[in-house]
Amino acid sequence: MRRKGSFAILLPVKPNRPLHILGISCYMHDAAACLIADGRVVAFAEEERFRREKHTGAFPEGAIRYCLEAGGIPIESVDHVGFYWVPWRGVLHRIVQSFHDFPRNCAPSAHRIRIFRDMIGVARLFRKRFGYRGAFHFVPHHHAHLASAFYPSGFPEAALLVIDANGEIATTTFARGEGTRIDVLRTVKYPHSLGILYLCVTEYLGFRESHGEGIVMGLAPYGRPRFLEDFREILHVTPKGELRLDISYFDAHLSKKHYVTEKFIRRFGPRRMPGGKIEPHHKDVAASLQAHTEEVGLSLVRVLHRLTGLSRLCMAGGVALNSVMNGRIAREGPFEEIYVQPAANDAGTALGAALYLHTVKLGHPRPPEPVSPPFWGPGFSEEEIERALRASGLPHERLPDLTEHAARSLAAGKIVAWFQGRMEAGPRALGNRSILADPRDPRMKEILNARIKKREAFRPFAPAILEAYLHDYFEAPAPSPYMLQVFPVRPEKRHLIPAVVHIDGTARVQSVNPRQNPRFHDLLSAFHRLTGVPVLLNTSFNRKGEPIVCTPEDAVRAFEGSGIDLLAIGDFLVRQRSGTGLGELRDQASHPSRSSSRREREGVT
């Protein structure tokens, strides 16, 4: 990998202590920080979890301070800092592009000027805010994505693919990783971008760009892909893997209020305003966009396979969060094994920037084993949890058999918030900051969407399944530990878990084994023993419009008055202020075969 884009003074590392590298990303969206020591992840978290502002791009001061605290080090012990973007790289390319758009774009937007200014000044701000005197590097954006995908995978060699809206110049990058080397083979340049296409159509459909793409993916199965040929004309892939986007349909790259042009609206129909009614043609546009995204993704991985001849694939970039596309690549693509970085979006470039510096810039070896599951966020002691519970005034007690009790409560139809261990990194709740429910209840999806999550009724929920039973329930070629691949549910099993089966018969699967998450595995095993079903409904533990909970105080606020029946936090069981007492709940949960009333199943006590 080329080593351009760094501005640093390489300082000698003091002997007899680990090499500490901090990676940061910010100013666009999904700001984050990551600390590694001798190439191993110590801490990694998104800034949104500390600011309580979903997808924030703000300077990640909270995440940085957490990383230093988790590492038990002062700022003086940080040897290198890596920033996920080279702000001056690609400026000439953007200026040339702006001439192509003249007079539609006579001046850059104030927002983009502010981002450029902030990125140029990030090293100065970091030094001033933290008193840092060490080396500060600017890492090319797609290089950070590549490093975040390859080095944690554990693969000795792999084909690498980054697909996002854009980096400094590139929107798609094909690469090959071997050992410590990453060699870029081919790139697609801005504005020709699958990510930009999806972002613009997301905004056209009335959802917030860079936030609502997953909602569009969930809406797609409700429509017909009758606009598929239109999207094939607007964005097509050449045999060499080059993308060609007809930019006359879009204003995302310009200083405009909306991201699509009148030409797009004439072709696809009226836009949906935020909060407005979803018309049939909106569903059809979503279905067509998603179908084309899957086609393009499959085309790109086939090109990459021809370029590399390798059997393993690593993916990153915002488009790599498209779990339906990932599932099709896993089932229909040419690669035998696939690793999708769990924080594949821009948050993951904080991890990637740190790993890039460690392995490429400084020439240190990769860790010999794959990076562990992404439980790298804050964890809390029993004392800290109990202090938060006492302050809340919520009824609670410590239970030596909490896992068994939670399983019995779930089997009895209760909705349980599950707060355990260190917080997950990435956008998916993987069993440490989750809301859990019984997937056997066909009304559970409606109950959760309307009363707990307070979101669109069409949005699906994910199943968490014991890995040993994965192939019994899903047409999955391999485990899916990060909930980033969608697979068909086997027809003979769909009636057993209706709450997690989407309208098209698929589900976004999380497979769980005892090595990755022992306590969550124990809970699933206990539920399986009680019900014969090795699956739980798993969704993120958060209030509407907020990120996943981070601290016990966040958990208490999200739980209180939410309609969730129980909160299992550490070894404590917490209930709402009014309703059935804990003793009576235990009595009900001890008879999982007993039919729950409608009020119980809906979380009304």
Instruction: Give the distance from CA 423 to its chain's centroid.
Output: 13
Amino acid letter, 313: L
- Contact (Cβ atoms closer than 8 angstroms) between residue 24 and residue 84: yes
Cis amide prior to 103 (ω within 30 degrees): yes
| Residue 430 DSSP symbol | -
Taking the C-alpha atoms of residue 410 and residue 597, their distance in angstroms, rounded to an integer, is 14
CB within 8 Å of 316: residues ≥ 6 apart: 145, 146, 148, 149, 161, 162, 340, 341, 344, 348, 352
Taking the C-alpha atoms of residue 228 and residue 337, their distance in angstroms, rounded to an integer, is 29
Taking the C-alpha atoms of residue 172 and residue 324, their distance in angstroms, rounded to an integer, is 19
**Of 315, 441, 425, 392, which Cα lies nearest the Cα of 569?**
392
Instruction: Give the distance from CA 341 to its chain's centroid.
Output: 9
Q: Is 20 marked active-site?
A: no
Burial (0-12, 13-18, 19+ Cβ within 10 Å), 542:
buried
From 20, 29, 282, 292, active-site residue: 29
Amino acid letter, 462: A
In order of 110, 198, 225, the CA distances from 256 in angstroms are: 11, 17, 28
Which pair of structure tokens corresponds to residue 259?
Answer: 């991201």
CB within 8 Å of 187: residues ≥ 6 apart: 142, 169, 170, 172, 173, 174
Taking the C-alpha atoms of residue 252 and residue 237, their distance in angstroms, rounded to an integer, is 20
Instruction: Show the CA angle centred on residue 533, arms to residues 527 and 537, nearest 5°.
Output: 75
3-state SS record for 446-474: HHHHHHHCCCCCCCCCEEEEEHHHHHHHE
Sign of CA dihedral 437, 388, 512, 475: positive
Which pair of structure tokens corresponds to residue 343?
Answer: 């924080």
In order of 23, 220, 224, the CA distances from 286 in angstroms are: 35, 5, 9
Catalytic residues: 29
